[in-house]
C-alpha cells in the first residue's frame, strides 16, 4: 500500500496532443454543416488551448499556477459561450426548422 509512482509525461507530448486536438476542432468547425457539430468543434479547440495553457505553466525556471488559472477562466467563458450558442441554435431552429449552417445566410435578407 505504498504510494503510487508518478509518471512524468514529456511536455512535448502534451503540446502535441493539444495541437492535434486543435487541428481536429478546426477541421470540424470549417467543414461540418450542422450547427451543433460546429459548436462541439469550437469547444474542442478551446479545450486544446486549455491543455496547452496547463502544459506551458509547467515550463520555466519556476513553474506556477498561472496556466491553470487562465484555464479556469477559459472554461468559464466556454460554458457561457455554449449556453448562448445553444440558445441561438434553438431560436434559428424554431424559425427555419433546420440546423444547417448553409441555411443561415438567409438571415442577411
In this predicted model, which residue has the larger pLDDT, 80 or 65? Answer: 80
Condensed to tens digits (0 to 9), the pLDDT of residues 31-59 reads 988 888 999 999 999 999 999 988 888 88
pTM score of the predicted model: 0.80
Residue 92 has pLDDT above 90, yes or no: no
* C-alpha cell of residue 56: 506551458
Residue 107 has pLDDT above 60, yes or no: no
Q: What percentage of the chain reaches a pLDDT higher than 70? A: 93
Across 62-87, b (16+ Cβ under 10 Å) vs e yields eeeeebeebbeebeeebeeeeeebee
Amino acid at each position: 500500500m505504498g504510494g503510487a509512482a508518478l509518471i512524468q509525461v514529456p511536455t512535448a507530448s502534451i503540446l502535441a496532443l493539444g495541437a492535434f486536438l486543435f487541428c481536429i476542432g478546426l477541421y470540424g468547425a470549417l467543414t461540418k454543416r450542422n450547427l451543433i457539430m460546429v459548436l462541439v468543434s469550437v469547444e474542442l479547440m478551446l479545450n486544446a488551448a486549455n491543455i496547452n495553457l496547463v502544459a506551458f505553466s509547467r515550463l520555466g525556471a519556476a513553474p506556477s499556477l498561472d496556466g491553470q488559472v487562465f484555464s479556469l477562466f477559459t472554461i468559464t467563458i466556454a460554458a457561457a459561450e455554449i449556453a448562448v450558442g445553444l440558445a441561438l441554435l434553438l431560436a434559428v431552429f424554431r424559425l427555419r426548422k433546420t440546423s444547417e449552417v448553409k441555411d443561415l445566410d438567409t438571415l442577411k435578407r
